A and B are shown apart, each in its own frame.
Chain A
């Protein structure tokens, strides 16, 4: 990394920033300083307040108290347009692009000084010049929804450059990238730093901090707990401890690996998109035995979702066969598949996992209400449901005022525990978990992982889709890598390394090829 000088006035200084949300103190008297040419890594767990702090710097939220100085003078940032005028721009974790508009339109969208009829020819030329200068290959006339995730990120960067940003905030920019793409991003960042731009880099990955940043600031539960030059850090473990405030479990208790009979067998699954085009699942075959966790690694959007939806009956396959617990379940309904013993922890908790406006108790009963355990003939026995819910709330330590509270008022971790409780309780041999620890704090993440392993030790087959390689390496017995709808390879978790998986995730067939 290039060097920067600290004797100049810092380009950003946030002083004593405090921000409340209902029931949460998101930022508590946080200070932050960024110098010209510096990359500052903002490290913290989910919910530590990193994004909130940055959203205040770009004017999406207003701080309750505290001051922000940009390039030496007190700044009153009321909207993203104000921050942009000061040269501060942010790339959000979820890309802020309009899918059905062109790259060029997205880049100039909402700019105040644009004429009534934007001169698209000039705009295109300026974009092309910028792309050449920074090596950001993307065609200005392409429509966003036809671009890959990596290309979309380039559009986001171009958007900031076009608007003249020299202070860039990147919120977990590598989460959606293959390791290779992440290195490209690093190159682009270096070019920009060389021109005197500065960057703040939000992440929860320790290795990225070490690789990309000059200094690192750690947030924990809304408070800034440490700021130091990256060079001064001796062990990654120290960073982790600062972030979490206690030792992280780096291994989980698990029984010996003793796989039983095959419970999940997928043969040559192919799914074509509606309206034609490249298959989203391309001849996918895999098997999972009882007492085994198969991890699926891959950059989001490479067919993981379609694979799990096909296995759970939510998506019809165009060809191929699915055997679950020994029965042919190809293109059967979700209900038939559930009755055949499949449990599903879906990717999107709020949208797929729970009914937010129904009570915790009802949500826990959502699989078994149709069985004789909770109802007689067609009539649901309310008393039974109450006892049943009571039992699960205790067994899975779900924190809720009572079982009549609407699920949507629970924290993310407790919502996930509600789903886990329901799915594990009703599990008949197969558990499919999609991004089960996404967005959870360390405690809840551990609980989720421990529960998955417990299911494996009980002899169930577990499919775990995750975007975090550490999680897969820690929890899975085997890891399949998916890329553009194809299974690249299936590795033994003991032999797999981050590098090997990274290559496969980027679509590189075998090492050395």
Chain B
């Protein structure tokens, strides 16, 4: 018996919706196998994870706090991916945002205190945009491979941030980390740990949805992503749009960093490269680049992280289980997409059975 794929003559919407859901289930199933092999009870583990993520008001808040930068990073990556520009540098752009706001908080003391936060946000966002723009220009102007440039830049930016918090900007006390931002410049909390950054993130979801699905520019990005050459023939400038999209992508990743540092960490210090940028890749891909769907996915991903943090404390299981599950989600998702446009044929000699 042979298995063959045959092209459908339409896109199956039903399967397009089912694929991410099934992927999630499959990844938990595969994760259970991994857990079983490493002498842990999968049911108990998953139970502990869910409890750890949503078990109490405080835990829910903690998960939401994580979901905010994740959502923003997912949106950031999603814009670039729309153009098939593989920006895996959201991590670096995020750190760039933190560097930007920290710079303002540290050295722009001439500003009235009330202006520190807004100016800090702007500078952080611009830093992110600049760092996204560099690989954008390199790609648009000379087609330098963006996966590598964005990735190399991660190492450079994170290394530079390390230099700042260990060396140049280190607070006089302690052995790493900058002086905390002045309290007046902190992003206010609105519900327990949950801070006002959530408004930024949700507003951005609506704005991006509108821009991407309703405007001329969104239409152009869609064309470029799906057929660059045809878009060019229709008069759409590829170079300009790649650069613009990367500036925007970098700016949003920068915003994620700005918000998390203004609301949670209040300084530039070790752990600033928390991996939000990388998780953003998964969020973008799983949400099918749809901003609204990104909300749900980023909460799931945040829950995976807070849930696995709890694992370590409760069951002594490595927190890397979160990464394992994240990786596992992507694999059935990628494999499953084929069923949207193809059907499977099981061929026995000459008889064909379609399923």
Contact = CB atoms under 8 A, between A and B. Distances in A.
The reply to whether A and B meet directly (CB within 8 Å) is yes
Contact of A353 (B11, B215, B230): B230
A352 B8 CA distance: 23
Given A357-B227, A405-B10, A380 B237 contact: no
A355 B216 contact: no
B39 interface: no
A346 B235 CA distance: 13
A344 B229 CA distance: 13
Contacts of A337: 235
A151 B347 CA distance: 42
Contacts of B237: 333, 335
What interface size band does chain B fall in?
A: 20 to 34
Contacts of A241: none
A316 to B, nearest CB: 13
Contacts of B155: none
A93 interface: no
A334 B232 contact: yes
Given A370-B216, A380-B219, A409 B10 contact: yes
Given A378-B215, A378-B217, A379-B215, A64 B233 contact: no
B236 A335 contact: yes
Contact of B226 (A312, A346, A356): A356
Contacts of A378: 215-217
Question: Which of the listed residues A64, A339, A355, A358 has the most CB atoms from chain B within 10 Å of its own CB?
Answer: A355
A355 B222 CA distance: 9
B9 A23 contact: yes
B9 A334 contact: no
Interface string B121-144: 000000000000000000000000
Nearest to A422: B234
A378 B235 CA distance: 16
A355 B226 contact: yes
Interface string B211-229: 0001111010011001101
A17 to B, nearest CB: 14
Nearest to A20: B352
Contacts of B7: 22
Given A351-B229, A380-B219, A367 B234 contact: yes
A375 B216 contact: yes
B351 to A, nearest CB: 10
Interface string B8-27: 11110000000000000000
Nearest to A385: B219
B9 A409 contact: yes
Contacts of B229: 351-352
A335 B226 contact: no
A354 interface: yes
A370 to B, nearest CB: 6
Chain A interface size band reads 35 or more
A344 B6 contact: no
A369 interface: yes
Contacts of A176: none
A210 interface: no
A382 B219 CA distance: 11
Contact of B235 (A333, A351, A357, A405): A333
A334 B216 contact: no
Interface string A333-345: 1110111000010
A145 interface: no
A362 interface: yes
B10 A354 contact: no
A380 B214 contact: yes
A354 B227 contact: yes
Contacts of A352: 229-230, 233
Contacts of A356: 226-227
Given A64-B350, A312-B233, A367-B234, A355 B227 contact: yes
A355 B223 contact: yes
Contacts of A357: 226-227
B231 interface: yes
Interface in A361-402: 362, 366-367, 369-370, 375, 378-380, 382, 401
B233 A353 contact: yes
Contacts of B11: 406
A356 B230 CA distance: 10
A318 interface: no
Given A23-B9, A358-B226, A334 B217 contact: no
B227 A351 contact: yes
Most buried by B among A312, A314, A378: A378
A108 B11 CA distance: 42
A358 B223 contact: yes
A35 B178 CA distance: 88
A239 to B, nearest CB: 33
Contacts of A22: 6-9
A405 B12 CA distance: 11
Interface in B40-66: none
A366 B226 CA distance: 13
Contacts of A23: 9
A370 B233 CA distance: 14
B210 to A, nearest CB: 8
Contacts of A346: 233
Contacts of B217: 378
Interface string B229-253: 1111111110000000000000000
A226 interface: no
Interface string A129-170: 000000000000000000000000000000000000000000
B217 to A, nearest CB: 7
Nearest to A345: B233
A362 B216 CA distance: 12
A335 B235 contact: yes
A384 to B, nearest CB: 13
A73 interface: no
A376 B92 CA distance: 38
B214 A379 contact: yes
Contacts of B227: 351, 354-357
B138 to A, nearest CB: 19
Contacts of A354: 227, 230
B14 to A, nearest CB: 16
Contacts of A258: none
A353 B232 CA distance: 10
A100 interface: no
Contact of A338 (B8, B10, B234): B234
A64 B347 CA distance: 12
A366 B223 CA distance: 9
A40 to B, nearest CB: 28
Contact of B219 (A314, A333, A334, A369): A369
A334 B233 contact: yes
Interface of A: 22-23, 64-65, 312, 314, 333-335, 337-339, 344, 346, 351-358, 362, 366-367, 369-370, 375, 378-380, 382, 401, 405-406, 409
Closest 3 CB pairs of A and B: A335-B235, A355-B227, A338-B235
Interface of B: 6-11, 214-217, 219, 222-223, 226-227, 229-237, 350
16 contacts: A22-B9, A23-B9, A337-B235, A338-B235, A346-B233, A351-B230, A355-B223, A356-B226, A357-B227, A358-B222, A366-B234, A367-B234, A379-B216, A401-B10, A406-B10, A409-B10
Given A65-B350, A352-B230, A380-B215, 5 more contacts: A353-B233, A355-B227, A356-B227, A362-B219, A369-B216
